[in-house]
Structure 1
Amino acid sequence: MRVRFGPHPSVIASRRAMARLAAVCYLTGGLVGFLTAWLVPAWEDRAAALAVSSVALIGGVLLVLCGERLSVRGFYGLVFATLALLALQMSSQRGHAEATAAALLLPLLSMFVHAFFDRRATLLADAGIVGLIALAQFAWSALPVAIAATLVCVNGVVAAVTGWLVRAAAEADIDLLTGLPNRRGLVRALRVKLAADRDGTPLTLALLDVEQLVDSAARRGPAAADDLLRGLGQTWSAEAGPAVVARYGDTTFAVLVTGGVTATTALLERLRAAASTAGGFPVGTAGHCAGDTSALLTGRAESALSEARRTGGSSTVHYEDTAGVASQLTAALTAGEFTVVYQPIVDAAEGRVTGAEALVRWIRPGLGPVPPNDFIPDAERSGFIRVLDRWVLRTACQAAASWPRHVATKVTVNVSGQELDQPDYYDQVVAALADSGLPADRLVLEVTESTLDADSAAALDVLRRLRALGIRIAIDDFGTGYSSLSRLHRLPADILKIDRSFVAVLGPTDQEAPVIAAITALARTLGLRTVAEGVEEPHQAALLRRYGCDEIQGWLYGRPGDPELIGAALAGPRTPNHLLTGNR
């Protein structure tokens, strides 16, 4: 097993946060060094000190102006550049107090590393910091022994405290507004109950959507909406007794009941009565089935809540997995019946393979392939889609990590809009990249526009954080049903995927494609790349090229296949590549 010291980000890392903190550190260190060098008249090496301090000031200004453009790897390189700068200062000022002053900046570097990189990525930086202190003491005699020993201890304390705070922030499970468990806290409580209740005691999860009540209160001001949520949390927590009440989302509460449908329905009636607010609210419930994980149960409850929302009013929908769909799909995944295949994505102008889209397939022993249109809806309704999505993500990252590194390439992985609302989705993506060693800029997450709530603050925030790591975001099926310029303007996207329905209508004699022309023109205006799906004929590819479509995918260049085919195509000559057409 290889141990990687790559710059894997922590759960709170974003380019903006890293750039701002790095800029503050550089500007502060440069300003202090510059003023000290200028004001101390007896400084023998004033010129060198001024030069180093000026470099730090310039670096701080550059970080303010364009630091957010740096990748995570770039910030990791900046750490060692800073270490080298401090080493130069300490070496040039050996025997002077200024060497000690430079060394005292090392805890700032340690704090930056442990705030924004995971444990494995901090090992090399920690070794560099301790090594520099040892070098300054034993090779240069630049630091007193007491100062060197104190610095080693201080850096250790800073590293431990910063790392603990970052982990605590990632694992916080209390909603600050209501004092109730948040979604992460609910999942933690659910896992505890699932581990403890081994005697078959019924367990039911209910999700209560109070969005309409909050919107009504918000007309009186944001404080009124917060007061409503806080009041509902306190009232329901007192009324629920041993049941766990949590704030599941911005306007959604969750109640975890030890009991079946009857007990849950009775409790919901009491909660509605205790709310003492005008207007009702929809509720979705789901019961725990043998073998369920927390993700499956919450997924089914969300499916029931979605149905209750469509019904409207104060309806309550209970999800019944009478066919055992979730258990069947879980067993199939465990048995290795699911596989991931890769459809090539081709540069429209040059015809060479530039990457692939990961697609899941289910092959049942003795029955053959199950069409995705048959099992994906069942996976979504049963809540299994989250488990499947994350397995596909990890599998695709592992496969793409083996593709050639000397050429630009990418793997595209589908993610549901509901998945983006999950509190741990960002961590899951970061972990998949870290475990596989795949660089973030080689992963594209594809979100279907119609399933993404463009008004969801949680979904938009996680997309922005993922983009800050270098991951690209593609909007799938653009132009079908839910499209609007206002939605597109709010979505943090890099790529528009042109739906196959617009490609399929392009006939051999067509000389114009106005919809394609409009989409590609819009994408260019917004600075987005375009990828056309479902390209099966040469004349379709020709029209797409004419209108400036950047990339294409479809059976013209091959059906989905093994990842090794993509790797071989990428490793081949960088000329028009038709290696995969034999799979048509």
Structure 2
Amino acid sequence: MQYSSALPLLQRLRIRTRRRHSLELPPRSADETSPLLSLMLALAALAALAVALVPPASYLLALQAHEAGRLETRAGYLANELARRSWLIEQEDHRGALGILRQNASPSMAAEHVRLLQADGSLLAEATPLEPLARPLLTRRAAVPRDSGPQAEVEVTRSLRPALQKAALLLLLCLLLGGMIFVLLRLLPMWMLRQALGHASYLATHDTLTGLSNRLAFQDRLSHALLAAHREGRVVALLVIDLDDFKEVNDTHGHAAGDRLLREVAQRMGQGMRASDTLARIGGDEFAIIQTAGHQPQAAEGLARRLLTLMNEPIMLEGRARPVRLSIGIALSRAGGATEPAQLVHDADMAMYQAKQSRAGGYHFHSPALSRKLRERRLLEQDLRQAHAQQQFRLDYQPLVYLGSGQVSGGEALLRWHRPGHGNMPPDLFIPLLEETGLIVPVGAWVLETACREAARWPARMSVAVNVSTIQFRKPGLCEAVEGALRSSGLPAHRLELEITESVLLHDTPETLATLQRLRKIGVRIAMDDFGTGYSSLSYLHHFAFDKIKIDRSFVQRMAQDPNAKAVIRAVVNISQTLGIRALAEGVENAEQAEVLRQEGCAEVQGYLFGRPMPPEQFAALHARLRRPA
């Protein structure tokens, strides 16, 4: 997995997992000197200065302009009054003019200094305030027109200190506000940045669906745990856990239900762990646990058993109880020696696949013998893929015989493979691997096409039976493959018989029944294989009208010694006759078994007594000479 691009930023943080483990990172970095933070600091300072200085300065300028306007109005008023009484200016003592200057002063007015000046600037009269005006001062003049001589001027002066005091108070308030804005603009972006980095760190190290540590954090934690264990002489246990048949949940219930299942499984597994354990989701339905404490291997085995116990109760999905099975692989680090994380993960994976092959869930410890076995499995898988590409598979046919006449009613197509360098491979060895790898779908389509083509050369009374895998049945395209095989071979649809097992109907969904109905409309016949070995086969006969039921060979083999097996055969034959379904008994190996089956009313049989699986050429010649056994 590639590292996230957010990691350089995340290295400035202390990232904690859901457990006690933490990734210790440098607590301090060069944030303050970064260009981004310098720009943010400059912008914050400019904004604070603007808030601190612009309002007081604007207020002071406006107040000065207002006072200047008032002084101009005042000077103009006095000038007009003196102009109407210009003769007062001519008096030598100027008492009349001085009286005008004083009489028009209102008590509510600010203190002012008023002077009457001649045109040459000499003082004619002056009205002074009781106390000297405080600086700074603002002065305005207005001309007094006279007919008898040069113009005079009225000069009015007032103090601007009150305005400055108001501006100073406003400046103090704006400085406080600017300081608050500076602090806010300085801290808020950093807080938001750290919040974003914290969220990014969580996303980089946690799974968004379950909230567990993801693969990246798991790899880091495993490396640290192995290094610490090597220094201290301890053993680290790694458990790799996979959910069995999880893909089936997504296909059957949808991905939303699959997500709910994963969350519930993660929550349950967390209940069985210790605080020192690390649980991570490392894949779609794959989890891993790093166990650093406890005496091994007992601690790892105990944890695996606790996990399996926690999954005993089914999980409700879409109103249905869904059982959950885990396959757990366990690998242990070398005591006193260095262990590579990748090797430990590989060993745990192999152990997990071994547990999955048991098809019953559970746990399995890694061992050298397991490594050899899994290497052989990988080689087998490679050879299977090559066999499919090079068409190395072939079909043998085992006769299906009418007990009454001894005639061959058809043949069951059985897949065979001659593995180069190994000889003929047992079907129960390679067919499960075909299903696990998904190769069963193209190989199954080839089986259908080949069996139909060869059966088309048989007599018209004979049919061919083809086994359909559970995987092949649930994958889309089965009906199309059947139609294509019939169309290309020219085989009538009623001469093709598809055999399915109970596992196909284990989850009785509308999709399963719809596929069966569509196959029925095509005209092919449907048979239930291994009837009687499951838990609910009779209920399946109620949901779908099968054309044939095949009695499992285990009952035929035991019916001479076990009365119960014979009673089951009798019951199945009676049920088939009541429902109008043909019954076929598998595994007939001697004449005594054939006679008992004939007496019980079983009309059709299959087994070594009538013929082993054989190549198509031998099978084509068999039906012409086979008769009822003596």
Give your verdict on TM over 0.5.
no
**Which protein has greater RCO, CA pairs closer than 8 Å, 6+ apart?**
1
TM-score by length of 1: 0.45
TM-score by length of 2: 0.42
Larger helix proportion, structure 1 or 2? 1
Larger strand proportion, structure 1 or 2? 2
Larger Rg: 2
